[in-house]
A and B are shown apart, each in its own frame.
Chain A
Amino acid sequence: DTEVTQTPKHLVMGMTNKKSLKCEQHMGHRAMYWYKQKAKKPPELMFVYSYEKLSINESVPSRFSPECPNSSLLNLHLHALQPEDSALYLCASSRGQGVNTEAFFGQGTRLTVV
C-alpha cells in the first residue's frame, strides 16, 4: 500500500463552521505534512509532524489546528476560516526525517470557504 488517502475530496464551508480534514497512510511513515496550494502556485508547507510530534509550524494562523492522533493519521481542524483560505490542501508522508526520503502525496482536499 503506497497510498496517502485524504478525505473529503471536496469541502465547502461557511466562515463560522468548524470542519476537519483527514489524512491516512499505512506505509509505516513517521513524518507527515500539510501543504496548502493555491491555484497555479506551488504547494506551501504548513506543518510537519515527526514521530507524532509537531516539528515545524510555518507561522500558520491559529484558525488551522493540526493533530496527529497516531502514526497513521493526520488531521487538520478548521475554524473561522476566511475566503482567502480557499485552496487545495495536500497531505504527504515520508519514511522519516532523512533528507533522502521522498514524500508521498494524497490527492488533496479542495476547500472552498464561503
Chain B
Amino acid sequence: AQTVTQSQPEMSVQEAETVTLSCTYDTSESDYYLFWYKQPPSRQMILVIRQEAYKQQNATENRFSVNFQKAAKSFSLKISDSQLGDAAMYFCAYRSGNNDMRFGAGTRLTVKP
C-alpha cells in the first residue's frame, strides 16, 4: 500500500522569506505522480504544483518549487517570497494508476507579517 508522510504538523514563516515543507512517500510503483495541494480556510483544495515520477527535473510554478528525490522517495515544497495569502493547510498527495489519490496528514503553514 502506498503511504504519504508529512512530518511537520505546523510550520511558520515570515512574510517575504522562504519555507520548505517536507513530504516522503512509500511505493513500489514505477509510474506515479506527486502533488502539493493547498487548502485555505475557504476549504477548497487547490493544486499548487505536480511532479511526474519519470521526470528528473524539479517542477516549478512561480514562487513554488519542489525538490524531488526519487531514490529517497522525498518530495518537498519550497515557497519563496512567502505572502500572507500562502497561509493554509498544505497536503502532499500521491497518485498511481489505480485512479485514486492519497494524501499526507497535512502541514499548517502560518505566515507572519
Contact = CB atoms under 8 A, between A and B. Distances in A.
Given A33-B100, A103-B47, 7 more contacts: A33-B101, A40-B106, A42-B104, A42-B105, A43-B103, A97-B97, A105-B45
Contacts of A59: none
Contact of A108 (B43, B91, B97, B104): B43
B45 A88 contact: no
Given A88-B43, A102-B50, A105-B45, A45 B32 contact: no
Given A102-B47, A102-B50, A48 B100 contact: yes
B99 A48 contact: yes
Interface in B62-113: 91, 95-106
B52 interface: yes
A107 interface: yes
Interface string B19-46: 0000000000001110101000011111
Interface in A37-53: 40-43, 45, 48, 50
Given A41-B105, A99-B31, A100-B52, A50 B99 contact: yes
A100 B52 CA distance: 7
Given A100-B33, A100-B52, A92 B99 contact: no
Which of A42, A55, A90 lies at the interface centre, i.e. has the most chain B CB atoms within 10 A of its CB?
A42
Interface of B: 31-33, 35, 37, 42-47, 50, 52, 91, 95-106
Contacts of A21: none
A99 B45 contact: no
B27 to A, nearest CB: 12
A31 to B, nearest CB: 6
Nearest to A56: B100
A99 B91 contact: no
A66 interface: no
Given A42-B104, A42-B106, A102-B50, A97 B99 contact: yes
B110 to A, nearest CB: 14
